[in-house]
């Protein structure tokens, strides 16, 4: 999962606006599903973000190509915890976060269905 930092992503200092790193990580999580021909919104099932613990290590600058790396920390009945890290084109780690997602079915907390679990497992080192 490689992506470019564009004009829309940077702020007055020419560096990536802090909350955009969360967007980049969300794109990477969505691509876990899209890359299998599936969607993260599967009928009545989808995930919502419950908790984020994030370290902003170095700034990403306009034009940078960054890479998002996702790995599974813990898979529970209705929730999943992942580590997502962003590196720049010089392989410097610029951002790291642990994110906890909860599975919803028709807007109620639900057990993660098996075909979702499979995706989260098989891509544990994207």
What residues act catalytically? 11
Q: How much helix, strand and coil, in percent to the nearest 5, is found in the chain?
A: 20, 45, 35
Contacting positions for a copy of itself (CB under 8 A): 4, 6-8, 10-14, 17-20, 22-23, 26-27, 30-31, 34, 39-41, 46, 48-56, 59, 62-63
N-terminal to C-terminal alpha carbon distance within the chain = 8
CB of 66 to a copy of itself, least distance (A): 13
Whether 60 contacts 94, CB under 8 Å: yes
Token pair of 68, please? 């998002």
Nearer to a copy of itself, 75 or 102 (CB): 102
CB of 48 to a copy of itself, least distance (A): 7
CB of 31 to a copy of itself, least distance (A): 7
Q: Tell me how far the alpha carbon of residue 26 is from its chain's centroid.
A: 4
Nearer to a copy of itself, 22 or 75 (CB): 22
């Amino acid at each position: 999962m490689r992506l470019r930092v564009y004009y829309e992503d940077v702020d007055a200092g020419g560096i990536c606006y802090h909350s955009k790193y969360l967007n980049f990580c969300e794109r990477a999580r969505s691509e876990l599903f899209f890359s299998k021909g599936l969607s993260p919104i599967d009928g009545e099932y989808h995930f919502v973000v419950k908790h984020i613990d994030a370290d902003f290590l170095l700034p990403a600058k306009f034009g940078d190509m960054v890479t998002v790396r996702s790995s599974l920390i813990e898979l529970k009945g209705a929730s999943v915890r992942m580590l997502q890290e962003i590196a720049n084109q010089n392989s410097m780690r610029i951002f790291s976060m642990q994110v906890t997602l909860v599975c919803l079915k028709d807007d109620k907390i639900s057990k993660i269905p098996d075909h979702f679990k499979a995706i989260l497992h098989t891509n544990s080192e994207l």
